[in-house]
Each structure stands twice: as structure tokens, then as C-alpha cells.
Structure 1
Amino acid sequence: MKKLIAIILSALVLMSALSACKPGGGESSEATSSTARPEAVEQEPLRVFIDVEFGSNVFISVQEFLRDYEAETAKGGKTKYKSFQTVIEDLGGPEDMEIEIPPKHGDERDTYLTALRTEMMAGKGPDVFVCLSGFGAHYFENDTGFCFEESLFRFPQQAMERNMFLPLDDYIEKAQFMEWDKLTPIVMEAGKNEHGQLLLPMTYTMPLGYYRSADVEYRLEDTSLTWDDMLSGGPETLLQAANISESHQSAALAPIADYEKDQLALTEEELLEYVTSRMDARGRLGEMDLPECSNGLLHPNNWFDEENGASDELTLVPVFSRSGGYYAVITSFAGINVNTKRPDDAFFVVDYIMSKDCQQSKLYTHMLTGNAVPVMEGLMSGRGNGVSDGDGSNVYMSKNLYPEFVKLREGISGADFYTPLDRALYDMTLEIYNNPDKPLKDLVHKAYMNMSMELAES
């Protein structure tokens, strides 16, 4: 009997010990439960995707710019540098930021972006996106040939319609760094839909020409012209129509796409008419006395003539669209993944990226140099308001150019993102030039079908 009682007591002690090892088993179970709480699990780094090199011919890598992001003078007069991550931390931002920079070109880039898109489709991916839009052409590092690459988000407005980005309106109201009322409104509007402000355009450009005012009749006060008006106007407007940047022809065809329906907003006949009118304009130029001009894109360090034009009054002549007015082409943007688990930390980074200090920094060098201007109004107006050239200096517009730029900016009638449709128009122009014996109608038809498929299949 005593032996039986001893066995029973031993069993009870063993059961008590086992119960203490299970959740809900007294003090020991509470200690075990506390280690399983979500807040005790190691937090994943804040992922910041930065893809600003694929359309740039700046040969210093963005990785190097971010490593030596902010200069400070140390003891003895030596210059030391803070990294981009350190600057964010010093401002009170996240301390575990992980920057992701994709390959610049080639199969490695394609593989990387494909894997990243797959990850995003699964509800994951980077928390913050800083991207060039559209396509980019640059030289290979060890070659003289061009390579063409595209953005992670080929059609940003389609990505907006598919709810891929976090609405930012509530965060913008509490922003610490960006000055929302100084960001060009008509450009920022392009990052907004019925769900709110989803993307933050960072830089934009437009095709235009720089002329001495004394040489031309056109003045920027007239912002209501159309593409057809350019063709029937003076030599300066005809010249801009004929010599529009081949990579930015969507500015003349705006609006070019209906992103809600994923289809083109112009007909094949309208595209053919546009191409024919450009060719006709080029033919007519040979019969005219043309004013001297600098023809290209809007960007910070563009001047008319370094020696002769510094004191001349200047006139900018934009390319007017078929629908009237002239459009800005958005070349880069920032956004936050709708699936981020850390929206506050993600916005802290985006908020800083849109600040004046950052828009003047090396981070923007690849986006601006030879390509575009920042959305922050007041920049490029002179010393103290220049933007980084990536080599220790700031660049800004000349005194005779900046006031004209302000007039140009105030007259913008709309803005759209740079997309693969611009690449398709570039390819079309090249094919027409290389195949003068082929029927123009057939070449335009081929281009139109390619553009339609690009939009429908993206």
C-alpha cells in the first residue's frame, strides 16, 4: 500500500512539472509566453529601394554618393563625411535602414527586378521606393555603346490604380522636413488619385528651346497654344516642333494614355498626323532664317551661351501639346509600399527625401544632371539655392534664365510620368529615319500596335 501511494505521489509530481513547461502552466508558462510576444521578435530592417542610375551618365555611383553624403569639417580642418543612413539617424529616424540598389543594366538588372516584382506580388518588398521613371539610355562603363533600361514601375499611374502605394495625405499634414506648399502643385498632382497622394514626384523636365528674346516674337505669356499653332507660328515655334527631343515626344501628344482603361488616349490616325506634321516642319525649316538657340531639355545648369548670352534677356519656348498648353514630364518619384509594416519610419525617410536639404544633395545628382529640375520651388535661383553636381559644387540658373524658368513653371498645364511609351516613340522615330523607303503609314501602324500592347500587358 505504501508502495502504491509512493508511485501515485511520484506521478503527481511529474504531471506538475510537465504542466509548468506548457503555456498556461503557472509562472513558468508566463515567462515562456513573454518571449513569444510579437514585440520581442527581432524587427526586420527598413528597406529603402533606390534606383536612380539607369538613365544617368554620372559616373560616380549613387552608392558612393550615399556613403559620403554630408561633409563636415573635423579637427585640423580635415573633411569627414556622414553617410545617408547616419544623417537619417541623427535626425531621429530609423536606425536600421537597409538601402537596396539594383544593378544598373543588363541581365543582372532584369533578374533582380523580376525577383523584386514577384516579392511585391506576394505582399512583401521594400518599404520605400525612390525611382527614376520611364526608360533610361546611358553608356556602358567600358564601352561606347548605348544600353536602354526601364524602371521597376514601368507605368507609375497604373501602379497607383492597382493600390501598390500607401496614401500619404495624413502623413504629409504632419511632415517635419518637406515644405508641401513649395512643391510645384501641378507636378505633385500627378501622384494623386481618388485614394489620395500616393506618389511624390521628385524631378521633372520638358522639351524646350532657349532663345535670345530679341531674336524671336514668341513670349511665354502665351501658354494656350496647341501643337497645330506651333506648326503655323514663327520660326522659333516651328523649330521646336521639328526638333523636339526624340525621347520626350509624349509632351507633344499629351494626354497620351488612359490609365483607368489601360489604353492609348490617341488614335492611330492622330499619331500618323503628328509624325507627318513633324516631317513637314523639318522640310520647311530649310526655307527660313532661323534664330540661334540651345535646344534640349529643362535642367539646372543649362545656359544659352556662356560667353555671349549671360546678360541677354532670354525666352524659353516649350513644346505645346495636341490638346493645348505644355506638359511637364515627371522623371523620378518616391513612394511607400502599401504593405509596409513600418509606415511611420518609411514616411520619415520619404519626408526627408522631399526636403530642401535633400533636394540640394548628392542623392539628386543622378536625377538632375542634364535631365531635369527638382520640384522644390526656389531652388536653382542663385548661391545658397543651387543643387549638387556630385563633385563638391552646386549649380544654379543664371540671373537672366531663372525668371524665365519661373514663368515657364507657372504656365505648366499638366504633368505625366515618363514611361515606356516614350521609348516606343523614340524607336518609331529611329525606324522611320533608318527606313526611308518603307511606307510611313506601315511604320506608324507598327509603332501604334507596340504602344497599345505595352500599355495593355504591363
Structure 2
Amino acid sequence: MKKNAEKIRKLGVFLTICVSAAVMVGCGKGQESEETEKLTVCTGSMQEYEVRKLVEAWQTMNDGIETEVIVVPSDDTLAETKITELRTEIMSGGGPDVFIMPCDENTEKEDAPELFPNPEKAMYSDLFLPLDDYISDAQYMDPDGWNQTIMDSGKTEEGQVLLPLTYRYYAYVFRTADLENPENLPESWEELISDPDPMFGEFMSYEARELLPYTFGKLADYQEEKLLFSEEELQERVDEAFTWKDKTATYQMETRPIVQGKVEKAFCEAVDYAATEEETAIALPNDQGGITAYVTVYAAINRNTEKPDQAFSLLDFLFSDEIMTGDGFPGEDPLTGIGKGCNPPDNFNGGISVNLKAAQKMSRNQVTKDLLEQMDRRINEVRYYSNLENEIYWMVYKCLARDKDSAPPLSAEERREVIHRTYEEMEMQMAE
């Protein structure tokens, strides 16, 4: 009996040693694997070249850390395949470590494939790593030098989870002398459509209809998973936009705005060119008495990543003043430096940089800078282009009968069914 007990004891000790050795070997392999595996960065096809430049510059300053750039193709069929593959990886606890993704309105395709069709909704789905602790210990980032109104759009109760890079809104710059009452500009959607100035009716009524999402404040509550406007309110907004355009269709103004469009570098350059005249700027207002801005490119870290420090190091580098302004870091070649010319605001997807120094560099003229600052102060809603906006854009497209050759726009009664179907689709998207 004692011999059997001794045999069992020795066997137990032997197994313990074997298991311990296996664990030690396994840990060693795991550590070696973590050190040798690539950091993966996912981006869109339009941003691929610039993201590769960014990664190469970052590698130069980080001992050549091996990095792979994963691109969502522009071709719809190939994009669907890649997106399905990436989503499967993410849902299985893997996926790319870093995302640098565009989000822009889609006015050419009704159903364009997107990895994150609604980035705001994704913020509340535990997909992205909260970044506050990393930002507080960052080597390069200077949050005090960012546009906080825009940055706040990437926050949840867990803190900063999305990092907006660029944003835009739609605006007009008029010669002050061409406006009837430049001292009392309309500040809300309701004031705009009732303003008697023919310059607004002539040049803003068309875009107000085409860019209807800009006229709304907050569209949805993603924590409660519900829309914040009713079908009747959507119907009323469409009717207001179409009625305003019809009412002003007979206007034939002899003068035009100095510039109109999405505010980005080309917009600022046009204002710079005409800055010898006194100018007045007005952005397309929303129904909350302010301006709705849209994020056009954002960055995030996969909550599943096994390399959070490396992943954040790349974003820390990206959001540095040196990269965001395009000035770059000092290098062996003083003419090129490291990361010189990366300049995300110009090269990633247009728009205004969240970095205040970079935003100031969009214009060479103080008058233009002052106009931009005046409009920026009125931003009271920041959104990410999503499938909700896409539904509204295509609703307007159908109400204008652009899906039918040479057909006139739908009547108010005919529009109701289109609006009803659109609202139902938006409700379903919120519930998914």
C-alpha cells in the first residue's frame, strides 16, 4: 500500500514538472510570437498610399517594427469579400490592430459596402479600445491643441474611443455688399428658409435640398438605439426644402458667392484669392441654431488587439503636430525629414484638421482664418457619415426622380411613400 502511494506521489511530481515545462515553453513561444507578429493597419483604398507613407515614417522612428497595411478595395465585389473576412476575424476576437478609416457621404451608390457603416453606433458596441489612459501618457499628442468640439464626438462613457482626424461642413462666402442684411444672418434652418434675402434663396435652397442631413441636429441616440426625429418631422423637413427651392426658382441674381462648398483647403484658397473685398461667411445651418459638421476620417484601435502599445504608438505619431501639419520630424536629410508631407488633412480625405495648428495652415490670409473661426464656433453637432445619412441622401434622390430618366420631381403626395420607406429602413438599421 505504501509502495503504491509512493508511486502515485512520484507520478504526480513528474506530471507537475512536465506541465510546468510545457507552460514555460508555451509562454516563451507566445512571447516570441507577440514580438514577431506584424502590427496590422486597416484603411480605405483612397487612403492607402498616404497610410503606407505614414507607416514607413513611423517605422523609421521605431526600429522598423514590422507592419502590414490592409486595404478595403474600391471595387464593390472585392470590398464585400474583404469586409466579410475582416468582420469574421473581429467577431472571432482578432482583426486588424489599427483602423484609419474614411467616412464620407455616398451620392453615387445606394448600397456601398463599408466595414463600419455607422461609426457612431460602433462606438457603443465594444469594438474599439478606450484611449484616455494612453493619451494621458502620450509622447507626441497634445490634446490641448485639438478642436475639442470635434474630438468630443469620438467619446462614450468609457472616454475617447474614436479619434477624428478631419471634418467638414458646407458653407458660402458672399461679398458683404451683396447681402441685404449682413449684420443679421440666419442662424437656424427655420430662420434661413424664411429669410427674404434673394442671395440665400438663389444659392442656398438647392444645396439645402441636396444636403438635407446637414439641416438636422442629432439624428439618433445610439445608447437607446432610437432615432431622435419622427417620420412626420422628416416629412416636414423634406416639404420645407422642396417648397423653398420652388419658391426661389425664379430668382436670377447677377452676382454669385465668392465660393461655396465643403470647407477644406480648396475652399480656403478661393477665399484667400478674393480677400481684397469685405466678405461674409455663412454655413448651412441646422435646426438647433448652429452648424452640423461631419467627420471625414477617423482612427481607432481594435479592442481585440494584443499589441495595444504599438497600436497607440502609431496613432500617437499620426496625431503629433509634426505629422498633422506636414512639417515632419528632423531626420538625416534636413530637406525631407521623417514624415514630412504626410499631412493627413490634405491627403487622407480633405476637410479641416482637428489639429488647430494644421487648420491654421489651410489659409495664408488672416481674413479667411477669421471667417473659418467664426463658423467653427457655431458648430453644435458633430456626426460621422453613416448609413442613416445615406438613406436620407437617396430618399432625396428618389424624390427628385433622378432614378427615372427625364422624369419630373415627385409631387408632395408621391414623396410620402418614399419618405415612409426611408424612415422604416432607418429604424431597422438602428435595431440591427
Q: CA deviation at 1:333?
A: 0.7
Counterpart among 224, 230, 233 of residue 270 in structure 1: 233
Instruction: Please give the per-residue CA displacement for 1:127-181, whole angstroms capped at 9, x wherever unaligned.
Output: 111111254457xxxxxxx786343111112111111111111111111222211
- Write the mapping of 1:240-389 to structure 2, written as runs, cut at 5 A: 241-244=204-207, 248-288=211-251, 290=253, 291-293=255-257, 294-303=259-268, 309-359=274-324, 360=326, 361=342, 363-369=344-350, 372-381=351-360, 385-386=361-362
| Residue 193 (structure 2) pairs with residue 231 (structure 1) | yes
Identity %: 25
* CA–CA separation in structure 1 for the residues paired with 2:300 and 2:142: 17
* CA–CA separation in structure 1 for the residues paired with 2:388 and 2:203: 21
Equivalent AA in structure 1 for residue 323 of structure 2: C
Asked if the contact 2:210/2:396 (under 8 Å) is kept, the reply is no
Query: Which residue does 1:181 correspond to in 2?
Result: 144
- Write the mapping of 1:71-90 to structure 2, written as runs, cut at 5 A: 84-90=54-60
Q: 1:409 to 1:221 in 2, by over 3 A?
A: farther
Q: Structure 2: which 5+ runs fail to align?
A: 1-9, 327-341, 402-407
Asked if the contact 2:221/2:227 (under 8 Å) is kept, the reply is yes
Query: Which residue does 1:404 correspond to in 2?
Result: 371
CA RMSD after TM alignment: 3.1
Counterpart among 121, 127, 132 of residue 169 in structure 1: 132
Q: Which has the higher helix share?
A: 2
1:344 counterpart SS class: helix
| Residue 96 (structure 2) pairs with residue 126 (structure 1) | yes
Q: CA deviation at 1:282?
A: 1.1
Normalising by structure 2, what TM-score?
0.81
Q: CA deviation at 1:428?
A: 1.1
Asked if the contact 1:137/1:149 (under 8 Å) is kept, the reply is no
Normalising by structure 1, what TM-score?
0.77
Query: Which residue does 2:386 correspond to in 1?
Result: 419
Q: Structure 1: which 5+ runs fail to align?
A: 1-15, 54-61, 70-83, 139-145, 387-395
Equivalent AA in structure 2 for residue 367 of structure 1: F
1:130 counterpart SS class: strand
Instruction: Please give the per-residue CA displacement for 1:56-92, whole angstroms capped at 9, x wherever unaligned.
Output: xxxxxx444455x3xxxxxxxxxxxxxx333212323
* CA–CA separation in structure 2 for the residues paired with 1:52 and 1:339: 23
Asked if the contact 1:254/1:322 (under 8 Å) is kept, the reply is yes
Query: Which residue does 2:409 correspond to in 1?
Result: 436
Q: CA deviation at 1:246?
A: 6.0
2:101 counterpart SS class: strand
Asked if the contact 2:176/2:278 (under 8 Å) is kept, the reply is yes
| Residue 174 (structure 2) pairs with residue 211 (structure 1) | yes
* CA–CA separation in structure 2 for the residues paired with 1:310 and 1:267: 43
Query: Which residue does 2:6 correspond to in 1?
Result: none
Query: Which residue does 2:4 correspond to in 1?
Result: none
Q: 1:46 to 1:102 in 2, by over 3 A?
A: same
Equivalent AA in structure 2 for residue 261 of structure 1: E
Q: 1:65 to 1:320 in 2, by over 3 A?
A: closer
* CA–CA separation in structure 2 for the residues paired with 1:376 and 1:228: 32
* CA–CA separation in structure 1 for the residues paired with 2:381 and 2:410: 37
| Residue 424 (structure 2) pairs with residue 449 (structure 1) | yes
Asked if the contact 1:199/1:334 (under 8 Å) is kept, the reply is yes
* CA–CA separation in structure 2 for the residues paired with 1:245 and 1:46: 43
Q: CA deviation at 1:342?
A: 1.3
1:280 counterpart SS class: helix
* CA–CA separation in structure 2 for the residues paired with 1:318 and 1:306: 14
Asked if the contact 1:129/1:337 (under 8 Å) is kept, the reply is yes
Query: Which residue does 1:191 correspond to in 2?
Result: 154
- Write the mapping of 1:28-177 to structure 2, written as runs, cut at 5 A: 34-38=24-28, 39-43=30-34, 44-51=37-44, 53=46, 62-66=47-51, 69=53, 84-92=54-62, 95-136=65-106, 149-177=112-140
Q: 1:136 to 1:288 in 2, by over 3 A?
A: closer
* CA–CA separation in structure 2 for the residues paired with 1:352 and 1:319: 34
Q: 1:165 to 1:30 in 2, by over 3 A?
A: closer
Q: CA deviation at 1:46?
A: 1.1
1:254 counterpart SS class: coil
Q: CA deviation at 1:399?
A: 4.4
Bigger radius of gyration among the two: 1
Asked if the contact 2:169/2:294 (under 8 Å) is kept, the reply is yes
Asked if the contact 2:166/2:352 (under 8 Å) is kept, the reply is yes
2:358 counterpart SS class: coil
Q: 1:154 to 1:415 in 2, by over 3 A?
A: same
Asked if the contact 2:42/2:98 (under 8 Å) is kept, the reply is yes
Q: Which has the higher contact order (CA 8 A, sep 6+)?
A: 2
* CA–CA separation in structure 2 for the residues paired with 1:21 and 1:454: 58
* CA–CA separation in structure 2 for the residues paired with 1:132 and 1:231: 32
Q: CA deviation at 1:307?
A: 10
Asked if the contact 2:189/2:285 (under 8 Å) is kept, the reply is yes
Q: 1:327 to 1:363 in 2, by over 3 A?
A: closer
* CA–CA separation in structure 1 for the residues paired with 2:307 and 2:266: 38
* CA–CA separation in structure 2 for the residues paired with 1:41 and 1:22: 25
2:395 counterpart SS class: helix
Instruction: Please give the per-residue CA displacement for 1:310-349, whole angstroms capped at 9, x wherever unaligned.
Output: 4223222112212221121111111111111111111111
